[in-house]
Amino acid sequence: MFKHIIDQDVELRLLDNHHAEVIFQSIDSCREHLREWLPWVDGTKTVEDTKSFIEMTKKQFASNEGFQTGIWYQGEFAGIIGYHGINWANKSVSIGYWMDERYIGKGIMTKACKAFVDYAFYGYKLNRVEIRCAQGNDKSRAIPGRLGFHEEGIIRESEWLYDHYVDHVVYGMLDREWK
C-alpha cells in the first residue's frame, strides 16, 4: 500500500476500503464545519457512501487519472487531499482537500498540499497545478497563498452550495515557477 511520510507527524496513505469507517466518522463528527464549503456532505449519510467514494478513487488511480489520499496526523485520520482528474493533453491538474476541524491550524494541509504539488511536477511531469477555493473560505485560500501560488481570478457563481452559489478564486502554479 502506498504511504508517503512527510515528517514525523504527517503521512499520506492511498485510500482503501478499511479506511471507510474512520473517514465516515470524521465527516459525521464535523458535518456542520464541512458543510459550510463542501457540497457533498449531505450526500454522505453512511459508511457505504464513503466506501463508494473510496471505490471511485481506486478507479481513478487505476486509470492513471490521479489519486486521493488520507492525511494522517500522529497516527490519526485528519482529512483527505487528492487530484481532480489529470488533464494529460494540457499537462495540468487541480487539487482538492478537506480537513477534520480538530486538526486545522497545525500546518498539516499546507504540508500535504506541498507534497501533492511536488508529485504533480516531479512525478507526473505536469506543467500546471490549480487550486480553486470558495471566495469566503479564508482558511482554504491561505494554503495556496503560503505555497506561492498566483491568484489568477474569480469564477463567478462557480458552485452550487445547498441553497446558494459561491464564487471560486483560482490559484495557479506552473512547473517553472515551482522549481
Write the CATH number of the domain with boundaries 3-126. 3.40.630.30
Domain boundaries, the chain: 3-126
Contacts of 119 (CB under 8 A, 6+ apart): none
CB 178 within 8 A of CB 121: yes
pLDDT tens digits along 114-152? 999 999 999 999 999 999 999 999 999 999 999 999 999
Each residue of 6-64: pLDDT tens digit?
999 999 999 999 999 999 999 999 999 999 999 999 999 999 999 999 999 999 999 99
Q: Residue 95 corresponds to which cell in the numbers above? A: 487539487
Q: Residue 14 forms beta bridges with which residues?
A: 69
Whole-prediction pTM: 0.94
